[in-house]
Structure 1
Amino acid sequence: MDYQFKLLRQSRQNLLRFTEQFTLEELNEVPEGFNNNIIWHMGHILVTQQLLCYKNAGVPCRISDEIINQFRKGTKPEALVPEEEVTFIRKRLTQTPSLLEEDFRNGLFGEYNEISTSFGNTISNIEEAVVFNNIHEGMHFGYLLALRRALTKTV
């Protein structure tokens, strides 16, 4: 699992570095042909990791229900995300990989409520959840690349 946690931390660093290039307006812009924006993807990545790894293991999430309900699967941007919330999301994206690894090493995750994903696989334990989460984050990074391309066409 060491490698999976290393990948998660690196993925988050790449995500945060990539998103630094955008203004608050650009983070919130939903380009034509898209359902979401960059900040939604950032929040969604944070929320999904918490739901996959904590909630499905019966462990309290380390973010609020308000944030979860704002960025969970099936949602879309309803309002502009203010700078303070962007800062909060960035901070939690930085912190949660290490917290997850620490909680994993401390044996916080026991039973896991098996789930089927829209990706077509089943997650049966925390180890599989961490691996799938890394795949999920990589997929969303691809969406961010597409959003960047769409944003640069509109500027």
Structure 2
Amino acid sequence: MEATFNIWKTSRATYLKFLENYSLEQLNKIPEGMSNNLIWNIGHIVVSQQGLVYRLSGLPMQVTPEMMDAFKNGSVPTGNTSLEEVNEIKALLISTMNQTISDYENGVFKEYTPYETKTGFSLQNLHDAIQFNNYHEGIHLGFMMKIKKFI
């Protein structure tokens, strides 16, 4: 799992750079012909990881129900994410990762409800979920690389 967690740390550091290097207006801009923006993608990967790892393990998530609704699959960004919300997402980007790694190392995860993703991946256990999460975050990073060309 060390390599998996190292990949995740690198991925989250890349997302953090977007939050540090783009203005609130740029983070919220939905380019013509696209369905989301930079901040939605970052919020989405945070809430998705929490659902895949914590909810399916029967544990409390570290995000609010309101945040889950705003960034879950099928949600649509409004283009009006506030600076306060961006700062919350920024903090969660790192804190959720650190907490997950700590919880994994401390044996907090005891059970897992199998889940099939919308892309057809069958997650049978926590390890599957953590590895799929890296794949999922990579997809959204690709979307963000495309979006940044238009803002």
TM class by shorter chain equals over 0.9
CA distance in 2, matches of 1:112, 1:98: 20
Aligned to 2:55: 55
Match of 2:95 in 1: 95
Alignment correspondent of 2:12: 12
Residue 91 of structure 1 aligns to which amino acid in structure 2? A
The equivalences for 1:29-108 within 5 A come to 29-78=29-78, 80-108=80-108
Deviations 1:77-110 (CA, angstroms, capped at 9, x unpaired): 1350100110110111011111101111111112
* Number of residue-to-residue matches in the alignment: 151
Instruction: Note the residue ranges of structure 1 that are not aligned, 5 or more in a row.
Output: none
Residue identity (%): 37
Runs (4 or more) in structure 1 with deviation over 4 Å come to none
How does the TM-score come out when normalised to structure 2?
Answer: 0.96
Work out whether 1:148 is the aligned partner of 2:148. yes
Deviation at 1:119, TM superposition (A): 2.0
Superimposed CA distance per residue, residues 19-41 of structure 1 (whole angstroms, 9 cap, x where no aligned partner): 42211011111111111111100
What residue ranges of structure 2 are gaps of 5+ in the alignment?
A: none
> Residue 96 of structure 1: SS of its match in structure 2?
helix
Q: Which amino acid aligns with 1:57?
A: S
Could you tell me how far apart the structure 1 residues matched to 2:146 and 2:5 are? Answer: 26
